[in-house]
Amino acid sequence: MNSSRNIKLIIQFDGTDYSGWLYQSGRKTLQGTVMQSIYMLTGNEVEVIGCSRTDKGVHAVGYVLNFIDNSNIPIEKYPIALNSFLPEDICVKSACEVPMDFHATYLTSKKTYRYYFYTAPSKVPMLNNRAWYIGNSCNYSCENLNTLNKNLSALCGKHDFSAFRAMGGMSKTTVRTIYDIYVACDDYYSTKMYCLEITGNGFLYNMVRIIAGTIADIMRGRIQVDSIDKILKSCDRNKAGQTAPAGGLYLWKVDYSSSQH
């Protein structure tokens, strides 16, 4: 008789063709696809617990999930074994056994997201659903980025982020803590690729995408760079920028305290 074990996987995925993480009957979802692939591998139906409810079209590089497993597959063989049943747009990076009380959703200490957007003379088709094209009307210098990042630091700390929350969010509180936020830039083929990286203890519905949209509007001259703090304190969604498209967003990393992983 096989004994039960709690398995933690870190996966990466291209979310373009999925209706988000959470299982929905009749829809192609990441959770449903992973559960089906585990069933095909082990013959057992399992409940897969994910670290985040990513939306339709959002990607991940370091998505964490866990499930109770009763198979005798060696843990070191799990990634290659499960990858043979997963579609090409989902890949297991690592697998390990964790304590039975580990829960990928409730025990997170912080999450890091990245949002990619770029400027270029024209849209680059190979970047469709990978990064957001914001036109060719802005070309931020290092000095501009330094000023932007200095103003973005107003978002660090514990605040009410109502101004950066989309309608429809289910959170009981709009208070979150941001540990770090900055924008970097690099040349990528014929583009200027910008990357927003933000780390926090949690995020409201579409919060990262609204912050990204606000930054893009600042770079295009639609919002003043020194108004970020005022937008935050207003708690008014109408003061912030547009909601950036899902395709530029990546769940980059999820952290747990040392006793929880």
Average pLDDT of the chain, as a whole number: 95
Q: pLDDT tens digits for 16-55?
A: 999 999 999 999 999 999 999 999 999 999 999 999 999 9
Rounded distance between C-alpha atoms, residue 45 and residue 216, angstroms: 44
Asked if residue 227 has pLDDT above 60, the reply is yes
Q: Cα–Cα distance between 115 and 248 in angstroms, integer?
A: 5
pLDDT digits (tens, 9 = 90+) for 170-224: 788 999 999 999 999 998 888 899 999 999 999 999 999 999 999 999 999 999 9
Residue with tokens 């373009």: 16
Query: If you search the block for the tokens 């989902």, which residue do you land on?
Result: 90
Residue 11: its H or E element: strand 5-13
What is the per-residue pLDDT across 49-89, written as a single tens digit (0 to 9) for each? 999 999 999 999 999 999 999 999 999 999 999 999 999 99
Q: For 105-122, how does the pLDDT look when each residue is reduced to its tens digit (9 = 90+)?
A: 999 999 999 999 999 999
Which neighbouring-strand residues pair with 194? 117, 185
pLDDT digit string, tens, across residues 156-181? 999 999 999 998 777 889 999 999 99
pLDDT-derived band at 257, boundaries 50, 70, 90: confident
Catalytic residue among 17, 55, 180, 217: 55
In which band, very low, low, confident or very high, does the pLDDT at 137 lie, cut at 50, 70 and 90?
A: confident
Q: Would residue 160 show up in a list of annotated catalytic residues for this protein?
A: no
124-134 pLDDT tens trace? 999 999 999 99
Domains of the chain: 5-106 (3.30.70.580), 108-255 (3.30.70.660)
| pLDDT of res. 2 | 63
Does 140 have pLDDT greater than 80?
Answer: no
Q: Is the pTM value of this prediction over 0.75? A: yes
